Structure 1
């Protein structure tokens, strides 16, 4: 239970739990940007997938805001 907190009060979260998805997205974006600058072929596919993944995550998060 929440030690000393009112029922329904928010609980504390660790920094890792808060920042793990933004850090993962930042790493994916960095990989995508480097891949776009370095080469062609498979590098283009990697850059499109990683940079497009950020847009997908943003849309899913935006649509999911109203359900909570």
Structure 2
């Protein structure tokens, strides 16, 4: 039995995405990581800071989107 809610969910899943829409975020994360690695080779001081910043972005994103956060009692 399909209701309006289940058909809306099914249409979201069946939506076709272009290659750019699929690979945009992983490509950007990869470019930021590669830039962070390159900055580590350039020198000391500011370059080291940029290296840490560039290499911390994938770690922070994986922590934000990968860890299941507990809901508070009000949201449940």
What TM-score do the two structures reach when normalised by structure 2?
Answer: 0.70
* Matched length: 62
What TM-score do the two structures reach when normalised by structure 1?
Answer: 0.77
Which 5+ residue runs of structure 2 have no aligned equivalent? 1-5, 72-76
Which 5+ residue runs of structure 1 have no aligned equivalent? 1-5
2:22 maps to which of 6, 18, 22: 18
Instruction: Tell me how far apart the structure 1 counterparts of residues 20 and 63 of structure 2 sit (CA, whole Å).
Output: 23
Instruction: Give secondary structure in 2 for the equivalent of 1:12.
Output: coil
Query: How much has 1:32 moved relative to structure 2?
Result: 0.4
Give per-residue Cα distances to partners, 1:2-49, cap 9 Å, x unaligned.
xxxx82321111111111110101100111001101211110000000
**Residue in structure 2 matched with residue 42 of structure 1 by the alignment:** 46
